[in-house]
Every structure is written in C-alpha cells, then in structure tokens.
Structure 1
Amino acid sequence: MDLSLAAHLFPYSVWDCWWLAPLALLLDLWLGDPRLPWPHPVCFAGRLLSRLEGPARRGMSHGGPAGEKWRGRLAGLACLLLLVGASGLTARLLLAPPVLGLVAAVYLAWAGLAMGSLLKAGGEVLREVETRPEAQARKAVSRLVSRETGSMDRPQLRKTLADTLSENFTDALLAPLFWLLLAGPVGLWVYKAMSTADSMWGYLTPRWRWLGWAGARGDDCLAFVPARLSVAALRLTDALVRRLRPAARLWDGRWPGLALVARQAAGMPSPNSGWSMTACAWLCRARMAGPSVYFGALTDKPWLGPPEGEAAPWDRARLLALCALMRYSAVCGGLFLWLACLALRMLL
C-alpha cells in the first residue's frame, strides 16, 4: 500500500498531517476529556456492544452446552467485527467533509487519548483514600478497578490505585497515540473499539470466558507494540529528568534493566499489562500486582518491582511521584514517538 492510498483510507495520520497528534496530546494533558453536550464516543461503542450481548448469548447457547465454547467465540468475534467496523466507518464518514472533517479529526483525536482524565481521576480518588472513611475510600477506588476492594485497608487501596494508574499508561495514552500516528482517527477508533470490547467482555469468568475471547485477544495484538514502547517512554523520561533536571525527579527508584523488566512482565496473565507496571514499580521503588480478588476468585499474580525487603510502601507522596512520572513520560514518550514517525515519513 503506498502512502497516497493509506492517506485516503486513513486520513489525518502522521503521513499526511504532522500536527494532529501533538495537538491532541496537548489538549488531553491540559484539559482531559472534551466536555460537550453529547456523550463521549466510547459511550456509543459501549452501548452498541451492550445491545449485541443478547443476540450473542442466544447464538452461543443454541444447540446445548457441547459446542458452547466455539459458538461463544464465534458469536463474540462477530460482535467484535461489527463494533470495530461500525467505529472505523463512522470515524471515516465524519472525516469526509472538507471543513467539518478537520474539526471532527481534532475532536476524535483528542477524545481518543485519556491520560489527562486518568491522572485527574487518580488524583481525586487519592484525595478520598487519604481523607475519607475506609468504606468511602474503598468505594472510590472501586470506580477505577475491576478487582474487589471490600476488604482492603488503606495501604492496599493505595497499592491498587498505583496498579491501575501504571497499567493504564498503555491503554490511556501510548496505544491510542500509536494508532493515531499510524492510521489517523480511523485507526485510533478501531483500537478504542477493540479496547472497549476487552474492558467490557474480556474477563476469564464463566459469564465472559467465550464471548470475550475475541476482544481480549484482539486488544492483546493491537497493544503489543505500544506496551513495550511504554517502557521505553518511562526509561527515556527517567534518564532525561535525571540528567537535565535532577531536582524535578520526584521518584526515588532505579532502572533495573530491560531484561529484568521483561522477565517480570512475562509472569503476568496479560501479555501487555505488566510492562508499564514493572517499569513504574522499579522507578518508584514500590511493589505492584501480587494476588488479587476478581469477581470472587483469587488471581495469583506475581509481584512486580523490587524485592519486598527493598521496597517502600505506597503512600501519598509516592503516588504523587508516580503521577508525575506518568505525566512527564506522556510528554517525552509521545513527542519521541511523533518525531520517530516524522523521520520515517521523510525517509519514505
């Protein structure tokens, strides 16, 4: 596929529009999600997927339990293809008009990044964890995580908040930005549709094990490269801050080396979630992951980061340092990825 055809199918990518991705990154980190009279585009994807659940379950159960696994996987795959196709086609149609398409491109690119809103939500939840009674603090953390928080004390709540913030560095920023650069808002919203399917259906529970299989595997594929780039962004940020502005380095950990990060991340159930978590755990000198309860079942995840004897507890200051590390990494990593794509465009 030559660049002219790619630009026609996926307009406003870095191949034909150099300014859109950095503008979207700036708007996201500065303002968070766009607040407009209509719902966020992710809401439309979620509603469509919810409407598809009933027909998918009827297709999965038709014929008895013998072939439920494969019927469920096929039904989930059909729903996923419909969701992804509808999202990509809608984005492409919105980009078609000459002037309104430009406005739509800015809106879709901005709305597809979520680092600003993630850090804002994390800060609000952290305030509740530090100031509210434990019951209210558990409820606040439960708004951000799928694991059960009902029996957690404050140290566990802080660690859980650190887990979800660092894990979502890929999903909220690096992966959508990666696909925005390569394939414009159309590619970005194809990825967001896949990510929405994974977040809604991609659980290893009896209810979702088969219907959510396609969404989980698809999200694993589309986030595979961005998850590993997230480690590069965090490492680059740590090196730059350490060299250029040592006083601004709020985190107090050390870089363990890529081999150790890869080895610890490989122990996680997901092929992608452990990469940014492991890097953040080492740089913040505190442990992440470990055994967690999801939907009433204990999941035996490995511990990420330094050994227990070398790790510090998660407290308010360390969580704020994690947020600063992620914000700096969003800027450094995002701009580095953008510049790399521009250089590649010049070579092509």
Structure 2
Amino acid sequence: MYLTCAVLLGFALDWLLGDPQGLWHPVCAIGRLISLGEKLLRRVFPKTPRGETAAGALLWVTVCAVSFAVPFALLRWLRGINLWLGFAAETLMCWQIFARRSLADAGAQVRGALGRSLEEGRAAVAMYVGRDTGEMDAQQVIKAAVETVAENTTDGVVAPMVYLLLGGAPLGWLYKAVNTLDSMVGYHSERYEYFGKASARMDDLFNLLPARLAAVCLIAGAGMLGLDNRNALRVFRRDRARHKSPNAGQTESACAGALHVQLGGDASYFGKAVKKAAFGDPDRPVSQGDIGRAVDLMTAASVLALALCCAVRLILTF
C-alpha cells in the first residue's frame, strides 16, 4: 500500500500541478550526465564502429546505474530518519516522473498557436517533434501534435507508471534515464549511428510491454469517450507493426483508428525526406479538434492504465 499510495498521489499531483515552471528537474541532471559522459567517452574510445558502440553501451550502463542508485540511497536514508519523510520524498519523485499534464498542455499550446496563425503553430509544434516544421501546412502541424500525444502516452505516462509500481521511484528514474538517453543519443545519424545503438535498443526493450498496455487502454478509452473503439482495435491489429520502432506504432495506430484519421506518413528530418509508414485510413481530414480529442484519449488511457496496474499490484501483494 505504501508504494501504491505514493504513485497515486504522484499521479494526482502531476494532474493538478504539472511540472512547476522555473524549478529544477532531475531530468536536467540526467541530461547533463549524458552530455558529459558522451564527451569523455568519445575522447577515450576509438572512433570506429566497434569503439563507438562500446562507448555508447558504457554510457548507458553508467547513466542508468547512477539514476537508480541516487534515489535508492536517498530514499533509504530518509526512511531511516522517518517513514513518512521517506513517503513524502517518494511521492515527490513519482510526481516528477509523470508527464500527463505536460502532454495535455503541449496539445493545448499547439492548438492555440495554430488558431492564431500557421507560423505560430509551426513554432509551437517544433518544441515537441524532431522533424522539420518550417514548411508544414496546417494539416501536418495537427498530425504532428496528435502523433506526439499518442506516442508519448507510453513514454510519458504508462511506462513510468509500470516501472514505478514494480520498483518504486528508483526503478522509475532508471526508466526515465533510459528514455532520456534514447531522446538524446538514440538517433540514426552519422554522429549517433553506433554510439546511440545501445540506448535506442534498450529503450525499445523497456517499452515493449508498456506500449502494448497503452494501446489497449487507448482502445478501451475510446469507447468510454464515445469514439470508435471498434475501428481503433481494427486499425491497431492491422497497422501496429508498420512503424520502424516496435513500440511507436502501437499507440499511433490505436489513436488513428479511434479518430478515423490517418497519421504518420513521410516527413522531413534535418532537411532530408524520410519515408514513414501511415497509420489508419483517411476517412476524413484532421482538424484542430483532433488535438483535443487525442489529449482526452490519452487522459482516459492513463486513468485506465493506473487503475489496472494498481489493481494488479494490490492483488499480487495480498
């Protein structure tokens, strides 16, 4: 019950408050550790495919070990002083890991900016996607925002929830390190093709179960919201394996089916056109309202996943 309550309270705090602006966040420390580690390891290891692969693997192990050990040691020390002090600290750590409110705010920001002008919409969505946004039309901006919300239902909410309930804040922060490593070095580019290989593959591994749980909850959430859950299931079963990532297509396909729109498709990255699979059917063009519907769908899936994961934990505990 101790850990379940900490996770529930952390989720509630994120729902109500999000990430307080201006306050330091532990992800910043993880990011700095990754940057410093990369600079050091690139100097030490040879600039060959084998050398860069080994350096990237060592960076992954080091960052993940530190991200687990620091909250583990801190919580153990605080619990030794007072159990309630430890509980308060673990609740705070859980709060910092969840990103449901941040995803909802991002969707609202893009929708509001696009309502003012296309240029503002492009600038807003550029804060959340890696693709080139300078030549996007309104439809592409909307699709990018919906895809971001759908894909990050796994990374920002469901996966952290699973790992928090499995191993508390230390395991939750280990997952956050895995996710941050992938977002910083896990690219298919000249610089990171070998150095980021371990980070990209481990992120795929850590998200295998959470991504599928998130997709199932999106499908169930669609029914709760009056969206087409049957079509969400149909498209999910047909399109989920089309993405190059074993996980991203799970939630994108479910969301596309629920909204009766087509997501994905070709995009431009760093000035180069990249062929990408499409999810769903172009039953209708996307609209600004689809961003809000995607956020509502993400929220419903988050609540369902939380209820399911907490129920499973309590059943196994008792």
Q: State the TM-score, normalizing by the size of structure 1.
A: 0.85
| 2:5 maps to 1:33 | no
Match in the other structure for 1:180: 164
Q: What is the CA deviation profile of residues 66-114 of structure 1, one whole-angstrom value per residue up to 9, with x for unaligned ones?
A: xx11111110011111100111011112212123322220111110111
The correspondence for 1:59, drawn from 44, 67, 91, is 44
Counterpart code for 2:301 = S
Q: Tell me the residue number matched to 2:97.
A: 112
Alpha carbons 1:174, 1:230 under 8 Å: kept: yes
Name the CA shift for 1:274/1:314 in 2 (closer, same or farther; >3 Å).
same
1:254 and 1:285 in contact (8 A); partners too: no
CA distance in 2, matches of 1:144, 1:273: 15
Shift of 1:177: 0.3
Q: Show CA shifts across 1:18-54 (max 9, x none).
A: 31222122111222124574x1111100011011121
- For residue 273 of structure 2, give the secondary structure of its aligned residue in structure 1: strand
Contact preservation (8 Å) 1:34, 1:110: no
How far apart are the structure 1 equivalents of 2:35 and 2:149?
Answer: 26
Question: Which blocks of at least 5 consecutive residues in structure 1 are unaligned?
Answer: 1-13, 242-247
Q: Alpha carbon RMSD of aligned pairs, Å?
A: 1.7
- 1:4 aligns to what? none
Give the Cα separation in 1 of the matches to 2:113 and 2:123.
9
The secondary structure found in structure 1 opposite 2:193 is coil
Aligned partner (choices 136, 140, 150) of residue 166 of structure 1: 150
**Given that residues 6 and 87 in structure 2 are in contact (C-alpha distance below 8 angstroms), is that contact kept between their aligned partners in structure 1?**
no
2:177 aligns with one of 182, 185, 193: 193
Unaligned 5+ residue runs, structure 2? none
1:231-246 correspondence to structure 2 within 5 Å: 231-239=215-223, 241=224
CA contact (8 A) 1:75 1:211 kept: yes
- Any idea what SS the aligned residue of 1:319 has? helix
Native 8 Å contact 2:162 2:210 kept in 1? yes
Report the Cα offset of residue 168 of structure 1: 0.6
Amino acid at match of 1:186: P
Q: CA deviation at 1:290?
A: 0.7
Whole-angstrom CA distance in 1 between matches of 2:317 and 2:233: 28
After TM superposition, list the pairs within 5 Å mapping 1:74-93 onto structure 2.
Answer: 74-93=54-73
Tell me which residue corresponds to 1:10: none
* TM-score, normalised with respect to structure 2: 0.93
What secondary structure, in the 3-state scheme, does the structure 1 residue paired with 2:4 have? Answer: coil
- Larger helix percent: 2
Which residue of structure 1 aligns with residue 260 of structure 2?
A: 285
Paired with 1:137 and 1:34, the residues of 2 have a C-alpha distance of: 24
**Shift in Å, 1:256:** 3.3
CA pair 257-314 structure 1, distance change in 2 beyond 3 A: closer
% identical aligned pairs: 32
**More displaced 10-residue stretch of structure 1: 294-303 or 119-128:** 294-303
Q: Which position in structure 1 is the counterpart of 2:212?
A: 228
Aligned length: 313
2 CA distance for matches of 1:262 and 1:71?
Answer: 40
Q: Distance in 2 between matches of 1:109 and 1:257?
A: 30
Alpha-carbon distance change, 337 to 205 in structure 1, aligned in 2, over 3 angstroms: same
User: Which of 94, 99, 105 pairs up with 2:74?
Assistant: 94
Letter in 1 for 2:104: L
Alignment of 1:148-163 (within 5 A): 148-163=132-147
1:325 partnered with 2:274: no
Letter matched to residue 275 of structure 1: Q
Deviations 1:267-308 (A, max 9, x none): 1011101101110110011111111112222221111012x3
Matched, 1:343 2:318: no
Counterpart AA for 1:138? R
Question: Partner residue of 1:45?
Answer: 30
Please identify, of 79-88 and 289-298, the stretch whose mean Cα deviation from structure 2 is larger: 289-298
2:49 aligns with one of 69, 94, 113: 69
Asked if the contact 1:59/1:71 (under 8 Å) is kept, the reply is no
Match of 2:276 in 1: 301
Deviations 1:153-205 (A, max 9, x none): 11111111111111111000010000000111011000000100000011101
Cα distance in structure 2, aligned partners of 1:72 and 1:57: 7
Mapped to 2, the partners of 1:17 and 1:109 lie a distance apart of 10
